[in-house]
Chains A and B, each alone.
Chain A
Amino acid sequence: MLVHSRGTKWAVWALFLVLFLPLFALPLLVVLGASFATHWSSILPSGPTTAHYSAATRGEALQALTTSLVTALAASLIALTVGTWAALAAAALPKRVRRLLDALFVLPVAVPSVVVGLAILVAFSQPPILLNGTRWIVIAAHTVLVTAFAYQSVSAAIVRLDPAYEQAAASLGARPGYVLWRVKLPLLLPSLTAAAGLCFALSMGELSATMMLYPPDWTPLPVLIYAATDRGSLFAGSALAVVLMTATLLVLLAVSRIRTKASYR
């Protein structure tokens, strides 16, 4: 509709492909291709093998995958609870206080993740709360990082919520707790699951803060991928990366199914 002449249209599409394919499609294809190869120094990978995958799905790698999944699950559930609570509480407050809360909860996005990692490491290596060396420090760091995103997307959804529903429920005598549980939260459910998916994906791929504070017995998958590529095992690292991407996508798919079920109600 913007471009009418056939020639220009094709020229625009050609330029789109020339930019899009090498920049966005190629990297993912390359990682996928490399994960099945042992050698790659010309146009196609060579030495086909599935050995990287059998290594990537047992022992240390399998443990790292479970570590990542548990960390991401815990972090996104806590972040969703805290973020939703904060967003709901902020929505009921006067505009100026709400602005302050908005700024406060969005701040972790602007602060570098590495610094969040350093700060949590410094704070919880000393009394009163000692978390350094435990899995909880990793989970705490991930939770802090993703809570900002949960808060942002839930508070955006609250703004779009039609107040007529809760007013109707309240006018029929429903108590605030009942309105929250039976009216507001069900209406927010699609945004809540979307936020949960976002938090989960972010936590699965988190590397910066994790590098600062992971204990040796709680190594998430991205750290293992870095360790593999750092010692030159790029192909094994690719297989681990494919495992990470697949696990993330599977969980996101499951989460999006909750959303479609909710939207039918």
Chain B
Amino acid sequence: MFEEALCLFTKELTNPIVRMKKENGQMVMVPLFQSHENIVGEVIIEPTNGKKVEHNGVKIELLGQIELYFDRGNFYDFTSLVRELDVPGNLYERKTYPFEFSCVEMPYESYSGINVRLRYILKVTISRNYVNNIVEYMDFIVHNYSPAPLINNSIKMEVGIEECLHIEFEYGKSKYHLKDVIVGKIYFLLVRIKIKTMELEIRRRESTGSGTNTYVETETLSKFELMDGVPVRGESIPVRLFMSPYELTPTYHNINNKFSVKYFINLVLVDEEDRRYFKQQEITVYRLNEKS
């Protein structure tokens, strides 16, 4: 498509730039914001080849959208803010429009899952008569931080198959921040089956839609071997799993009634005939502001 004008966003460099994966898999660097931040920048429009651009006005929008993949094309804008940048007229040369959205409420974090995407964009529209509007987008990312929870109980549980296997496991916490370490212990109270290995998995469950249209996708993000060989009764196996290598997000509860993301740690025991015995525990993942 022939572009009659080039839009550029500039932005003050106070915010960090992070990597984001685009739909086509390319990695791009985009700025990172959190809720209630001022989003300040400039739009530079430069007509190509010095040609005049006639327009019915220039505006910039800040949009927060939830996109459900099975519902292609339908965006739910949960946030939409508009700033008029120019009244109708003609553009002859490069022109810079500063803009500012102050104290923007961005309650949800950017998220890109299997069936759902939550994105924030800045959208510049040069409206024109008779011909297509010139539209330019820019993604940015929102992360919201939460404080460390006041109550963070350990997870402790005894499970087993009667007369076959009894184990007790204990994880130090039930709420973890993204760079946290899962520390725990597995006690073997009774072992009558020949266990070959034991693993700890971190699983993500993404549920989208509601009612009958609920789609649930579960991903295993980590397979972390905890034990090798057959334990005997009375053994205790230490658990120490660093979460930082995995691409985790915080737990999301019912975001705009559209989707939820939950995390589980799943203890899996595999016997010599490759039968798997497992017990899954939900954990809450939160984003801790490392700077504070």
Are both chains from one complex? Answer: no
Give A contacts to B, CB under 8 Å: none
